Amino acid sequence: MRVATWMERSELQLRGLTPFTITLLLVLASAVPWHIPIFAPVTPAFAVMAIYYWSIYRPDKLPYAATFCLGLLHDLLTGTPLGLSALIYLLVQGVLSSQRTFFHGKPFLVVWWGFSLVMPGMALVSWVIASLYFNTLLPPMPFVVQAVLTVLLYPLFGLLLSALHRHMIRGT
């Protein structure tokens, strides 16, 4: 057996960073101004899609601490109450870590169905927490629209993520 060279090993490590990097890019994507009519308040929770995906297929490559930091970054960049996204991201991961064995290896429709249950739940939790934080009832409509948009966009992102996932595995 040949010992892996330094180059090969570092390439392997870089590939292992794919889940984190992708999620980071998606956090940035939700902070960038898209200038699409009435889009800003209902910008889909891009990062939640990635966290959902990696929690099912590669939970080892996106540890809780990384998710926490990504959530904090999202909050700091977008002006969301600090810690709120971090909490939501962790909850998604926590829920999935207990249901992972159920979703792993299941057809895409089942995974999507799972996401359509998780996302509204998270929208409700974040609405309740944000309302408590601001000490007033926030208008619930943007939360509903955001959840629906995110669920509808999941197939597209799921496809993209699985393509990247395959690319990541090919090297290993």
Partner 1 sequence: MRAYRGRALLLALPLKSVVQRFAFAFLVGAALTVMILSRAEPTLVDNMRGAVSDGAAPILEFFSHPAASVASFVEEVDALLEVHEKNSVLEDQNAALLKWQSVAEKFSHENEELRRMLRVVPDPEASFITARVISDSGGPFVRTVLINAGENDRVHKGQAVINNEGLTGRVVSAGQHSARILLLTDLNSRIPVIMESSREKAVLAGDNTPHPRLKFLAVDARVNVGDRIVTSGQGGVFPPGLPVGVVSLVSEERALVQPYVNWDRLEHVTVLDYTLPGFLPETKRAGRIGALR
Site for partner 1 in 47-86 (CB under 8 A): 63-65, 67-68, 71-74, 76-86
Number of Cβ within 10 Å of residue 94's Cβ equals 13
Token pair 């829920």 is at which residue? Answer: 95
154, two tokens: 């999941």
CB proximity list for 113: less than 8 A, separation 6 or greater: none
HSE toward the beta carbon, residue 127, CA cutoff 13 A: 18
- Applying CB under 8 A, the span of 10-18, 123-131, 153-161, 164-172 interacting with partner 1 comes to 123-131
- Applying CB under 8 A, the span of 7-15, 113-121, 128-136, 159-167 interacting with partner 1 comes to 128-136
Q: Least Å distance between CB 57 and partner 1?
A: 17
**Cα 22 from Cα 16, distance rounded (Å):** 11
By the rule CB under 8 A, 18 interacts with partner 1: no
By the rule CB under 8 A, 91 interacts with partner 1: yes
48, two tokens: 């939640």
Q: Which residues bind partner 1 (CB under 8 A)?
A: 28-43, 45, 63-65, 67-68, 71-74, 76-87, 90-91, 93-94, 97, 126-127, 129-130, 133-134, 136, 138-139, 142-143, 146
